[in-house]
Chains A and B, each alone.
Chain A
């Protein structure tokens, strides 16, 4: 269980301070898949960074299975917007990274993961020989090798074309259904948020806070064209539009 209570994050800035997150409250049970959506600057990345332990200066509390998060660790897998592979390592070495491929157990698991992310035959390829989607799958396999309790994904498919993106969403659902890893998935894409999430967290900027949490009670695999999907999509969209229209307490933002 990932529990966030009264989480507030303030960035000091030359012109006053930026309240990136204010009073976030959220509980995410084990094995849940939650998507986050909201306009640029509403603090989604900041929230994930704090959950990953990469940013330790915040107020409030955030705990994983009752223990406060102190620093990054393999328990909290992170997938960034870019694959961030080590260019001098092959695919299999990138997945193993600081785990030794000479260890039989690691080897076997790396092989399984390569199959899971559908990269069989590319074990010895270098990142420069991969497409963007393939590279991102390597990054996912690298995180999964550590059997994280939670997987934090920050717009992982943002740079991919529509086809690759749809394919990757299916790969991700495969993985989630096989492993039941808790996932926090940040996206800019409304369809993606509704297609993947059991819950969609809609966030508001200035200061970043949670506006509403929409439950998506549809079985997987979901039909994007079906009426129930469209209905929930409409609910989120309307909420999203309200976010955009909400009066912005910023004197400089007059039109």
Chain B
């Protein structure tokens, strides 16, 4: 955090200048800024649709967007889509919560305690480098392909980002503020709640966002290795029967799920990190 308010103000000015610039660019093509990001996908969809209708691509390989949309609507109406989505969401959420909570606790633990750090962190850092997908066969051997095995796999994936960033965040608490807590005679609990957690929160949320992404990835993998419901199962099943349109429906669903969880964490960031707002305005755009 900028200790010098003058510098902070200069920074705020530097941030508002490009913003005025951005406001002027708003009228480019007569579109507001947020809509400009939609131009490319829309163009691709149009070309795709046109190519499909003109018979330029095989419907078995690349069904037209309208066909995919129709299949999605049909599945939605029959309730099948909802069931798969719900099953997937449950698994992902359970794995994410289990892995995230463990990561948070261990991250706090190793971040706060010297001996815990020396004892645990090297091993965890080493495990982190193992490619997750390489442990799947082991999980299948040990736990089979049931729900337990799937949940554990997702939890494992969700664990590392939260753990790693919590640890970093806890370590980032400033020594200068720590001195203040000593002078004000904070208790151990007040120290954790007043300094360490808030200081680590930006990092923890970043870890949570990364973990959510990994959770969806591990979910799709887990569901494809054998399941009887869920979006991954739907995709796998559709492949077997060469229903390419349904494969696309599944992919789009995963895309939406990822985007929604991302937006959710972003909302939490805006609410919980409100105090950072004046500095963040400019950075937000870069993300």
Contacts and interface: CB of A to CB of B under 8 A. Distances in A.
B182 interface: yes
B275 A146 contact: no
Contacts of B276: 87, 128
Nearest to B3: A82
Nearest to A159: B4
A58 interface: no
Interface in A20-63: 52, 54
Contacts of A76: 183
Nearest to B179: A54
Contacts of B6: 132
B8 A128 contact: yes
Given A86-B194, A86-B195, A97-B184, A132 B179 contact: no
B125 interface: no
B90 interface: no
B183 A78 contact: yes
B182 A72 contact: yes
A52 B184 CA distance: 11
A212 to B, nearest CB: 30
B5 A131 contact: yes
Interface in B208-229: none
Interface residues of B, number: 29
Instruction: Pick the most buried of B3, B177, B194: most chain A CB atoms within 10 A of its CB.
Output: B3
A176 interface: no
Contacts of A52: 183
A87 B278 CA distance: 11
Given A86-B194, A87-B1, A77 B176 contact: no
Interface stretch (B40-48, B63-71, B147-155, B185-193): B185-193
Nearest to A81: B3
B183 A128 contact: no
A87 B176 CA distance: 13
B229 to A, nearest CB: 43
Q: Is the interface of B mostly helix, strand, loop or mixed?
A: helix
A225 interface: no
B180 A84 contact: yes
Contacts of B187: 98
Contact of B184 (A87, A129, A131, A146): A146
Interface in A217-253: none
Interface in A70-109: 71-74, 76-78, 80, 82-84, 86-89, 97-98
Contacts of A84: 176-177, 179-180
Interface of A is mostly: loop
B275 to A, nearest CB: 5
A77 B3 contact: no
B183 A77 contact: yes
B239 interface: no
Interface in B236-286: 274-279
B5 A80 contact: no
Contact of A86 (B185, B198, B279): B198
Given A54-B179, A86-B177, A132-B5, A74 B184 contact: yes
B185 A128 contact: no
A147 B46 CA distance: 72
A122 interface: no
A125 to B, nearest CB: 10
B16 to A, nearest CB: 15
Nearest to B5: A132
Interface of B: 1, 3-6, 8-9, 176-177, 179-187, 190, 194-195, 198, 201, 274-279
Given A88-B201, A97-B186, 10 more contacts: A54-B183, A72-B182, A78-B183, A83-B3, A84-B179, A86-B180, A98-B186, A142-B184, A146-B184, A159-B4
29 contacts: A52-B183, A54-B179, A54-B182, A71-B182, A72-B182, A73-B185, A76-B183, A77-B183, A78-B180, A80-B179, A82-B3, A84-B176, A84-B177, A84-B179, A84-B180, A86-B177, A86-B195, A86-B198, A87-B275, A88-B201, A97-B186, A98-B181, A98-B184, A98-B185, A98-B194, A128-B1, A128-B277, A132-B5, A135-B5
The 8 A-B pairs of least Cβ separation, nearest first, read A132-B5, A88-B198, A126-B275, A82-B3, A72-B183, A88-B275, A72-B182, A128-B278
